[in-house]
Structure 1
Amino acid sequence: MGEKRFAVLLCAEDSEYVKKLYGGYFEVFVGMLGDEGETWDLYRVINGDFPQDEELKCYDGFVLTGSCSDAHGNDLWILNLVNLLKKLDSMNKKILGICFGHQILCRALGGKTGRAASGWDLGVRMINFLPSKHFSSALKLPVYECHRDEVWELPPHAEVIGRSDKTAVEVFKYKEHIMGIQGHPEYTKGLFLSIVNRLLHCNLIQESEAVVGKTRAEEQVPDGEAWKRLCKSFLKGSKPTAITSLKPTTTLSLL
């Protein structure tokens, strides 16, 4: 078998914080999902850097990142990204979407996204996975949340596999090759707090919202290793990975 190759479709500009501590968001995602012997490429789609059509077949999977932009927006790069995702879907390529990536996947596949009626979700929130063919039993995993948009309507043939007490579509799966996650399994506490401070500085959130988000981030720590195994199991089609969290009888497999 040849070397596996993946691409990160970067939908956000790197902050000074993430560049200083991690080298950029690309390094954050490769650090979470990459394995020895793989090739990972970066496309800054937010700046118009897209893979060429003839390159698409070379990749085993794609990762879509978060963004400060709206997935329901009509900026040129967003429209080009929607078209690219439709091509990748037609090729049955594995795609993992995070936050904005989760929402733009929904849009590209025929669903609807928009502002959450209940406003921003900041902090750590518990995700309740639904018993289904993907899971041996119900699973609960906390994750960092940082979004004010959400999926309003799922695409045809998609299914919800995770909900929270605030957001109805926290995780969805489309057929066997696409998965979207509304939360941020790639975040560390420091990265989350840095982003909240940036949002506050830019007057995108109120002081009270920042306090609530930071407080919730202090009260619970996400299981980063569980999310890492879940994402890698889906993206790479590896053998079923049992994940236990919170309750010893709770396991899941995405295969």
Structure 2
Amino acid sequence: MQEDRTMQQSSAPDCRARVVVLKTGSTYPGLLARFGDFEDWFLRGLSPELDITVINVEAGERPGNPEDWNGIVVTGSPAMVSDRDEWSENTGAWLARAAAAGVPVLGVCYGHQLLAHALGGEVGYHPDGRETGTHEVELLPEAGTDPLFRDLPARFPAQLTHRQSVLRLPPDAVLLGRNRFEPHQAFRIGSCTWGVQFHPEFTDTVMRAYLEVQAPDLAREGLDAQALIAGVQASPDASSLLPRFSRLVIERVR
């Protein structure tokens, strides 16, 4: 069942840009109770001027045709792209159609990896394990003329938590961002399909809560959970991608 988060009360035509958020999973139960789920975090960051619908693709919901939407956002997930679950493979094929049709797409974390996989790249476990916490992202010169990334500083903090990565970019992908741990923090395909490994929807409070839940696993992996928690900071430049993507979609519809 599709869930229309805009809850329109009027029968008058709605001329706002239509954006679908593809929900690919859920957060930890304790965080869900405190902060809501992945889609809620995106809804807080995307423009209220958009007409937004959430489709739970992990649960088997279908988003219709890519051309039905003016913009597409793909959430993160605890699932692994390399498992190639049926819902994930179907969503990847749908995203490849969206990219070919020129519909603006923003894939985040799992969505970033799924886009890369669907468009001919390679996704798998990072050889050095997990990246989590607040870490710096470095933009490459190509980001200076990118419609989504231009005007951002060359380096900025971002919230990250992932074990899988884009190991090889798709053909013709433009690399936009990286850091010392993750060489593929952001890329673009064509004029308006973007993937970002970092989480623009995370607040610093959410990031700290993630690290607190992950602490036992981090200790087993040789990571210092308390140092990572102490290192969390706000990431307004990374978070600005959601209103930036919103404006891009709105301007294309006008």
TM-score in same-fold range (> 0.5): yes
TM-score by length of 1: 0.82
Whole-Å Cα distance in 1 between the matches of residues 133 and 53 of structure 2? 30
Cα distance change, pair 210–10 in 1 and its aligned pair in 2 (3 A): farther
Report which structure shows greater RCO (CA 8 Å, sep ≥6). Answer: 2
> 1:86 aligned to 2:92?
no
TM-score by length of 2: 0.82
Look up the match of 1:245. none
Q: 1:30 aligns with which of 43, 60, 63?
A: 43
Look up the match of 2:8. none
1:130-157 alpha-carbon deviations (Å, 9 max, x no partner) = 1123346961011111111111111111
Cα distance change, pair 21–173 in 1 and its aligned pair in 2 (3 A): same
For residue 122 of structure 1, report the CA deviation from its aligned partner: 1.3
Which is further off, 40-49 or 207-216?
207-216
Look up the match of 2:32. 19
1:115-139 alpha-carbon deviations (Å, 9 max, x no partner) = 1111111111100001123346961
Whole-Å Cα distance in 1 between the matches of residues 169 and 60 of structure 2? 27
> 1:189 aligned to 2:204?
yes
Gap regions ≥5 residues in structure 2: 1-13
1:83-106 alpha-carbon deviations (Å, 9 max, x no partner) = 111121121111101111110000
1:42 counterpart SS class: strand
Look up the match of 1:3. 16
Look up the match of 1:155. 170
Aligned-residue RMSD, C-alpha = 2.4
Q: Which residue identity lines up with residue 48 of structure 1 in the other structure?
A: G
Gap regions ≥5 residues in structure 1: 241-255
Whole-Å Cα distance in 1 between the matches of residues 158 and 233 of structure 2? 8
For residue 194 of structure 1, report the CA deviation from its aligned partner: 2.8
Look up the match of 1:126. 136
Q: Is the 8 A contact 2:174 2:189 kept in 1?
A: yes
Q: Is the 8 A contact 2:218 2:225 kept in 1?
A: no
Look up the match of 2:76. 66
1:26-75 alpha-carbon deviations (Å, 9 max, x no partner) = 1110101122x32111111111112123xx32311111111111112221
Q: Is the 8 A contact 2:125 2:164 kept in 1?
A: yes
Q: Flag as ranges the 4+ runs of structure 1 deviating above 6 A.
A: none
Whole-Å Cα distance in 1 between the matches of residues 95 and 152 of structure 2? 31
Whole-Å Cα distance in 2 between the matches of residues 22 and 120 of structure 1? 23
Q: Which residue identity lines up with residue 232 of structure 1 in the other structure?
A: P
